[in-house]
Amino acid sequence: MPVFLKLLLITLFFKVNADTTIIQLEDSTTVLCATGGKYALTQNKVNAWEYYWNHPLSAALYLTELNSGKKIKIVENPKGLVIHANLSPLEKYVSWYDTYLKSICIYNIASSNMLILQKNIQCLPQWFPDDSAFIVYDQFDIWKIIPGRNMHINLTNGYGRKHKIIFRQLSDSILVAFNTLNKQNGFFKLTENDPKLLSMDDCLYYFPIYPLDEFKPVKSIDSNTWLLLKQDAGIPPSYYSTSNFKTFYPIDSFKQPTLLKSTIIRFKHITGILYTPLTFDSSKKHPLIITYYQNFSINLHKFQPYQNSEGTLNIPTYISNGYMVFVPDVKTKKGHPGPSAARIVVRSAKKLRRYKWIDQKHIGLQGFSFGGYITNYVITHSKIFAAAQESAGPVDFISGYGSVKKGSNISLQPLYERGQNNMWTTPWDNPRQYLLNSPIIKVQHITTPLLILHNENDIIVPYAQSMELFMAMRRLDKQVWWIQYKDEGHQLFKRENQEDFSRKQLEFFNHFLKGAPPPSWMGK
């Protein structure tokens, strides 16, 4: 009989000292985190994905003296993961993030004392070269921490929290700022008191969080001139120069804009972006598509280019074809991802259809991946939508919980218990909760025509999820179409497939939301 052998390639790190002694830093159970001139940090190998329940080894952290090989366990049996462990520049301190404490921890090597920072710190320590202090950020402001004296100095004087502006350092004296309320972006100067405003504009320059971090401003080597990008929803990124962050001079302003504008919309407990043409006839009614993922409103001033769909909705394409597009922020409730997301989507539709220029009988839905799940949940619990398109969305939380990622055989259980699906329980502990969040058990209530995109090689969401949905809708004689492409996965990568799906998606919505004749691929 054939014998299959699995070959393991193991990399081991050693330290070779001047006297030719060799110190092994890794073995079958430990992995190197960081190394300096005097010390190395090692940690037990653990299954980070399942650590919340499956940890035969604790995520213990060790400090090894490179000259002697002496190993000191500085974190014994943490209840959570110990991640991002690192040494300070002069190796006086060790820092890491504890997922159970939800805090940054600082360990003084000489004294063995540990400092635990407040829970809302948003980044890892940025050390001064002499180890005397480090910079960290909370949700809004910038702090200087002097660990030797346990001093915490708010460098932005609480101005960020007071005005709901997030500050981050661009240089020693210049701060980049993002207003969480109106989504303005700009720059301040760091002072001994409140930060001094330089500019805050209705555009996007740069902010060091995804997806606003496209191009970090850079300073000239021999002058005080900075190069940066500026963009808006309908204006492509263009390069500008500045020396004071008050006046900006265009370097290339010849790029073609897209004819759309973005507006922040707020209803009770709902925030989102409404995309409309630059000019439109408000006396006429326009079809509306609502699309979503999670937190999108930070993209208010991010350029939206024309491009083919990978499974999502290309906003400029639909704006140029006479649609309005609304993208609400979706934050799900623990244990109730489906109902909490659906509540936001349905309420958004009911609020928006009050506008006289929205065609309330022709509102559609579109979602990709987790957004596809939201689409599936909404159409099984609401009858107000005229068409829906979902790409690779889960539909059955019980079968999904017991699945693995194709190709890697990694369990999807943590995705449901601790990840995006936000259940925080198991199907055997709370079967009713899993059923209530599974659209598949309410398929009989669907009245919305549905277009599905899901490919067999999807390694993120099992292909069987869409199979369940399609077969159930087919059995119930519902209006459903399923598109899949050979050799494609969770999203479309081949240009010809992107072009084909983009066309079919638009034809689908044009038929159900604008009354266009059905394309031949939809059949009779």
What domains are there in the chain, each with its CATH number? 14-151 (2.130.10.120), 159-250 (no CATH), 260-522 (3.40.50.1820)
Q: What pTM was computed for the model? A: 0.91
SS3 204: strand
SS3 454: coil
Task: Identify the residue whose tokens are 């829906």.
Answer: 388
Give the list of residues 6+ apart from residue 155 with CB closer than 8 angstroms, or none.
135, 141, 142, 143, 144, 190
What is the 3-class SS of 396-452, one letter each residue? CHHHHHCCECCCCCCECHHHHHCCCCCCCCCCCCCHHHHHHCCHHHHHHHCCCCEEE
Give the list of residues 6+ apart from residue 37 with CB closer than 8 angstroms, or none.
66, 91
To the nearest 10 degrees (0 to 180), the angle between helices 370-379 and 337-352 is 70
Structure tokens of 95? 């820092």
In whole angstroms, give the CA distance from residue 156 to residue 150. 19
In whole angstroms, give the CA distance from residue 301 to residue 81. 36
In whole angstroms, give the CA distance from residue 306 to residue 313. 11
In whole angstroms, give the CA distance from residue 17 to residue 67. 7
- ∠ CA 378-382-383 to the nearest 5 degrees? 130
Spell out the per-residue pLDDT of the chain, length 524, in tens: 333 333 333 344 555 555 555 666 666 667 777 778 899 998 888 888 998 898 887 888 999 888 888 888 898 888 889 999 999 999 999 999 999 999 999 999 999 999 999 878 888 999 999 999 999 999 999 999 999 888 899 999 999 999 999 999 999 999 999 999 999 999 999 999 999 999 999 999 999 999 999 999 999 999 999 999 999 999 999 999 999 999 999 998 667 777 899 999 999 889 999 999 988 889 999 999 999 998 999 999 999 999 999 999 999 999 999 999 999 999 999 999 999 999 999 999 999 999 999 999 999 999 999 999 999 999 999 999 999 999 999 999 999 999 999 989 999 999 999 999 999 999 999 999 999 999 999 999 999 999 999 999 999 999 999 999 999 999 999 999 999 999 999 999 999 999 999 999 999 999 999 999 999 999 97
In whole angstroms, give the CA distance from residue 385 to residue 48. 41
Cβ–Cβ contacts within 10 Å for residue 349, how many? 22
Structure tokens of 119? 């829970």
Cβ–Cβ contacts within 10 Å for residue 56, how many? 8
In whole angstroms, give the CA distance from residue 241 to residue 202. 18
SS3 293: coil
Least Cα distance to 317 among 72, 510, 103 occurs for 510
In whole angstroms, give the CA distance from residue 188 to residue 171. 11
SS3 384: coil
Q: How many helices (H) and strands (E) does the chain have?
A: 9, 30
DSSP 101-144: TTEEEEEETTT--EEE--TT--S--EE-TTSS-EEEE-SS-EEE
Q: 514: part of which helix (H) or strand (E)? A: helix 495-514
